[in-house]
Amino acid sequence: MLIDIDNNKKNAAIKEFLATLLEKLEEEKKSIHDKKNIFEKQNRYYRVSQAYFYLELIDLGMKHLKNIQFESIDNIDSVRKLKEAEAFFSKHSNYFTCLKNIEFSECTSKINAQFLIYADIEIQLDALFDKANDLFRQQFNAEGDAIHELVFDFKRINRAYFKTNEINYEEYKLRALFIMDKAKLIVIEQDYHYKMLFANILLLILTLGTAFILNKAINGHFLFFQKINNAEPLEKLHQTLSQLSL
């Protein structure tokens, strides 16, 4: 009962935070729109184009926030969308000066750390799923099917570990490595984006985010791999982690 009350308070605080964020963006949108009108009257076309660009960013930010429809701190869809919004505003933080005193950590600190990692893995898997759809558009159907199967396999073990507690962490790691072996790195040489996604997913799972937290503190980037130009780093990572005592 006490846990439920505490969770309800956390849910309410996050919803209030998101509502405040949306309200600030609405105020900023009105302010920038008014400035754009002034620039247009003054024929300051460069400033007008800047205003249009910022207004588009604000609209995208508001769309992210409205799409969250936050339910609870133990709802994976809500947490995943919250993390996606955080990534968007972090990427464009130089533009959103109106939010400089607002930190998403006010929300994420209220969510279980492992559940945040679960959300991060799901985001990476969704990105990998989208890359597989690109393969279908290029008529690489077999490769696209293989990547989709990989994503579904990962999502199954994620649910078994994070949601239903059907397996322990040791079994989770073993199954993750088995999935990577089964995939045979089918498209690994085609596009560095695949290698980056594979590596980030594998490290997220096998370190439960520890490597990423350290990397964020040292380099300022959450994702460990920003770019991989060939398969060698991932293959070495895979071999090294496979040899670890699980």
Please give the Cα distance from 156 to 165 (Å, whole number).
12
Distances (CA, A) of 12 to 6, 15, 41, 120: 10, 5, 44, 23
Q: For each of the chain's 246 residues, which pLDDT tens digit applies?
A: 556 778 899 999 999 999 999 999 999 999 999 999 999 989 898 999 999 999 999 999 999 999 999 999 989 999 999 999 998 998 898 889 888 888 888 888 899 888 888 888 888 888 888 877 887 888 878 777 888 888 899 899 989 998 899 999 888 888 887 887 776 555 454 555 666 677 677 777 766 644 444 444 334 443 434 444 444 544 554 454 444 433
Q: Which of 18, 13, 21 is nearest to 98 (CA)?
A: 21
Torsion, Cα of 74, 10, 111, 156 (10° steps): 10
Q: What is the pTM of this model?
A: 0.73
What six digits make up the tokens of 82?
A: 């919250």
Domain boundaries, the chain: 2-84, 113-243
Residues 6+ apart with CB under 8 A from 213: none
